[in-house]
Amino acid sequence: MRSFLLGTVALVSTACSSSDGPTDPLVPADPLPSSSGSFAARYLVPTDDPALAEAAVFPVDHVDWTVVGGAVTLHYPLPPGLVGGDLDVTFDGSLPAGSTRIAIGGAQGTGSCVAAGTTVSCFEVFGDLGTLPISMTVVEQVAAQEYAGPVEYRATIATLFGTDPVGIVEIDFSSPIVEDNPRPGDDSP
């Protein structure tokens, strides 16, 4: 879990947009995983303001990483505390064996993923998410529950993301999500 947390603040502050567009700060270190599952994650919004760095890190309920026949699908809900409501995103890409970086894309944007140890990081640039935040009231309510700093810091990050929807989802492959209630028809214990 420790490697999952290392570098969070550095990544948050290094992927800021320029006049040429956002730059991908991710450096591949290891081959990307070829196994499927749901995993714990967090979402990072790039910011140049060191005072906002901690406010720019959001928990993600779960990320589904599905690999079938050399193709990967990344699916997860963007954090309600960032977008102000429910908003799922899905990206697809090709995952040749041993790949250390892959391009992903979908109707909502593009990105790239790399791995370092048990952490997969995907830098994403969104283009079609609609008006964000969906509700600033939701952003503020979630901030009051899950963030120890000033609520207005989270509101600032949500506004920043609404105008420049760029971020990094970090997936912790050492923390799989196990369902407590199997789906109907699922024979697993």
CB-based contact 81:37 (threshold 8 Å): no
Give residue-wise pLDDT tens across range 159-187: 999 999 999 999 999 999 987 655 455 55
Q: What is the pTM of this model?
A: 0.84
Q: DSSP letter at 97?
A: T
Q: In this structure, what are the phi and psi dihedrals at residue 121, rounded to the nearest 5 degrees?
A: -115, 130
Give residue-wise pLDDT tens across range 14-39: 444 444 556 677 899 999 999 999 99
Instruction: Find residue 184's DSSP bridge partners.
Output: none
Tokens of 101: 């970086």
pLDDT at res. 24: 77
Whole-number percent of the chain with pLDDT over 70: 83
Cβ–Cβ contacts within 10 Å for residue 166, how many? 22
Give residue-wise pLDDT tens across range 40-93: 999 999 999 999 999 999 999 999 999 999 999 999 999 999 999 999 999 999
Q: How far is CA 146 from CA 19, 82, 149, 154, 159, in A?
A: 33, 12, 9, 10, 18
